[in-house]
Structure 1
């Protein structure tokens, strides 16, 4: 049997996913539920996004890309940041991730050493302390 690392053994169940699972059980039993737990929208993906995804698949965009993300996407992000906010970035300064939490987690893994303290302003997303702990840091919650 595979032996789990101590950092994994000490993880607590996600409060968000626990509430989400309970809401889904209620929904499946016919109870009308407004589920605000997991941040899932209550509407379908817009058609223009579905069509863009289908077009990308049809055009063979199914391969691995550079670690920081597609160059064309990073260039587009630079343009959008310049137009919307007046920021001037180069594609080399942009890192595309699967989401903000993944970006934060990657950052924590890259910079924390065992025992480093990380200040987390409250209120915060429920998973932030666990992310710090997995990276062997010590979360310090700061009330706001």
Structure 2
């Protein structure tokens, strides 16, 4: 399958493909083909929210570094993010919400907030969920 940029006919270069196998039930597990991820899944599978939070925040931190460069800001240290991914239920509907607490060492709050906002427009995970789940981001 050849990837194209969303809503365009521009061919895309695949940079990485993660391959996993997941089984459910009493002996549920999730494993990546390369062995990096090997998780036992328990009901109701809180690992899903934790894994999504780690994956999303890792991607988001890379986007923060790109956004800082776009804003011509040199980060004084490595940025960090605390992610909370919540599984919610309203009536019979299940849905996710997310909250990020972001630290950008050595960057004033106003600039850090601009970088954090720009990063959500760069990060593929943020773009994938945009408009689908509530996301709050706070610079600390």
Normalised by the length of structure 2, the TM-score is 0.24
The structure where strand makes up a greater share of residues is: 2
The structure where helix makes up a greater share of residues is: 1
